[in-house]
Chain A
């Protein structure tokens, strides 16, 4: 059949010339490139001792934020899960009981919240869909694991701790939420 695109390259099988048969000039040409790079400044870094500066909008591992009083922002509304193109997010909602007002911001909260980091494509749509400023992507990298199950991150890995809150102000200027 006739080619439609005209991008085909015909493979040539012509015999080598004398210079080509010597091989040495080709080897020297290749070694020249190698030695040139040996003298240049190194382009790689020694991760994790050395860490590159991230762009402020870098999208890495998620965090479920708490508000200024330490209560979880997430109300398990399911908008992140419906926005997720990779269908990585699942959750189970529960009702806040009396006495748990210090733990959860709204009367409904996520009892279970799981992100499958193998499915996640780090597009950031969950963060955009969130009406409660609960989920954010951070500049942290998802560490490697040996088991597939370990990549399913539950609330234990996603919710920030009260003592060490995760700073997201640099990358996100979402404006201050008004108190109810």
Chain B
């Protein structure tokens, strides 16, 4: 075990852990945000640069600070390393710059986008971005494409985090979509708008940190803050069958995987609880699911807005 200090909090982790995962082990405010890194998908990370942190001392053996900010998702911890995240103004300023870059081509269509309310870029922009853009040139624009009959791709909103490509690579046997072209022209695409008919392709929607990949069966149906996320399960031969159903009254509007506080699919019984397309797109009847109870929502999240009753009852339960 090696010791690492992040924002004056000392943590003991195993060698080979990244700074981001060490911070997540401690939890709380010190965890850097991550747009492209996804702990459940090996090979992700190192692309978006939002998780930049300052290393004030490299290790006990070589206590010199690192000259540049490093990406915490792909930098491994050393014994005696001192990392600054929230306590460093430099990190805050640089992250603001990164967010500004991510927003350069991102359209301002949050009122239209289905991801609004649970979008990581929205959170980041709220935290770091200024309310005005300095970008004067025309944004790159694409027409929305159907990826298969259940997924809609809005390339305008994509930040090229490659998470969905990794999902396709690791969860499905044959990848039929990827990133075409390069640089400014890079875009997620399937060959000739090829249909993806794989049982686990719907997980692309869950891993997308922005609203680039959205559920077509839920498209414009409602907004997330009007729905009530309920933990539910069903016996499924293909997947774990453990999901979150988003309900309005007694109707199920959409089904997603169970996401933890970092927006990643939870690990249940030592397995990442990806859900199959049948559970996600076809089981929209409340009788199909065994509904276990309301999902815990962060009090500050817009999703908890207007759900006075659930919040209150839960609080009373806690007091008892």
List chain A positions with a Cβ less than 8 A from chain B.
Answer: 75-79, 81-82, 87, 93-95, 106-108, 131-132
A-chain residues with CB within 8 Å of residue B220 when the two chains form the complex: 76, 93-95, 108
Is A77 a contact of B111 with CB atoms below 8 Å?
yes
A-chain residues with CB within 8 Å of residue B12 when the two chains form the complex: none
Can you show 6 pairs from A to B with CB atoms below 8 A apart?
A77-B223, A78-B225, A82-B223, A82-B306, A93-B220, A132-B111
Residue ID in chain A nearest B306 by CB atoms = A82
B-chain residues with CB within 8 Å of residue A81 when the two chains form the complex: 226
What does the 1/0 interface line of B281-309 toward A look like (CB < 8 Å)? 00000000000000000000010011000
What does the 1/0 interface line of B97-113 toward A look like (CB < 8 Å)? 00000000000011110
B-chain residues with CB within 8 Å of residue A77 when the two chains form the complex: 110-112, 116, 223
Is A75 a contact of B225 with CB atoms below 8 Å?
no
Known A-B contacts A79-B111, A82-B302, A106-B112; the reply to A93 vs B226 at CB < 8 A is no
B219 within 8 A of A: yes
Give the docked Cα–Cα distance between A76 and B112 (Å): 8
Give chain B nearest CB distance to A180 CB in angstroms: 9
Is A108 a contact of B226 with CB atoms below 8 Å?
no
B68 within 8 A of A: no
Give the docked Cα–Cα distance between A108 and B223 (Å): 12
A-chain residues with CB within 8 Å of residue B226 when the two chains form the complex: 78, 81-82
B221 within 8 A of A: yes
Residue ID in chain A nearest B116 by CB atoms = A77
Is B302 a contact of A131 with CB atoms below 8 Å?
no
| Chain A interface helix/strand/loop/mixed | loop
Is B112 a contact of A107 with CB atoms below 8 Å?
yes
Is A95 a contact of B225 with CB atoms below 8 Å?
no
Is A82 a contact of B225 with CB atoms below 8 Å?
yes
Give the docked Cα–Cα distance between A75 and B112 (Å): 6
| Chain B interface helix/strand/loop/mixed | loop
A75 touches which one: B111, B221, B302, B305 (CB < 8 A)?
B111
B-chain residues with CB within 8 Å of residue A131 when the two chains form the complex: 110-111
Residue ID in chain B nearest A93 by CB atoms = B220
Known contacts A82-B302, A95-B219, A131-B111; 7 additional CB pairs below 8 A are A77-B223, A78-B222, A78-B223, A79-B111, A82-B225, A87-B306, A93-B220
A-chain residues with CB within 8 Å of residue B116 when the two chains form the complex: 77
Known A-B contacts A77-B116, A81-B226, A82-B306; the reply to A93 vs B111 at CB < 8 A is no
A-chain residues with CB within 8 Å of residue B109 when the two chains form the complex: 106
B-chain residues with CB within 8 Å of residue A79 when the two chains form the complex: 111
Give the docked Cα–Cα distance between A38 and B97 (Å): 72
Give the docked Cα–Cα distance between A34 and B111 (Å): 59
A-chain residues with CB within 8 Å of residue B225 when the two chains form the complex: 78, 82
Give the docked Cα–Cα distance between A144 and B222 (Å): 32
Residue ID in chain B nearest A79 by CB atoms = B111
What does the 1/0 interface line of B32-60 toward A look like (CB < 8 Å)? 00000000000000000000000000000
Give the docked Cα–Cα distance between A79 and B223 (Å): 9
Residue ID in chain A nearest B220 by CB atoms = A93
Residue ID in chain B nearest A106 by CB atoms = B112
Give chain B nearest CB distance to A126 CB in angstroms: 14
Is A106 a contact of B306 with CB atoms below 8 Å?
no
Give the docked Cα–Cα distance between A180 and B41 (Å): 37
B-chain residues with CB within 8 Å of residue A82 when the two chains form the complex: 223, 225-226, 302, 305-306
What does the 1/0 interface line of B187-225 toward A look like (CB < 8 Å)? 000000000000000000000000000000001111101
A-chain residues with CB within 8 Å of residue B305 when the two chains form the complex: 82
B-chain residues with CB within 8 Å of residue A107 when the two chains form the complex: 112
Is A106 a contact of B302 with CB atoms below 8 Å?
no
A-chain residues with CB within 8 Å of residue B221 when the two chains form the complex: 93
Give chain A nearest CB distance to B227 CB in angstroms: 11
- Among B220, B222, B226, B306, chain A packs the most CB atoms within 10 A around the CB of B220
B-chain residues with CB within 8 Å of residue A93 when the two chains form the complex: 220-222
A-chain residues with CB within 8 Å of residue B306 when the two chains form the complex: 82, 87
Give chain B nearest CB distance to A179 CB in angstroms: 12
Give the docked Cα–Cα distance between A18 and B305 (Å): 68
A-chain residues with CB within 8 Å of residue B223 when the two chains form the complex: 77-78, 82
A-chain residues with CB within 8 Å of residue B112 when the two chains form the complex: 75, 77, 106-108
Residue ID in chain B nearest A81 by CB atoms = B226
Give the docked Cα–Cα distance between A106 and B221 (Å): 16
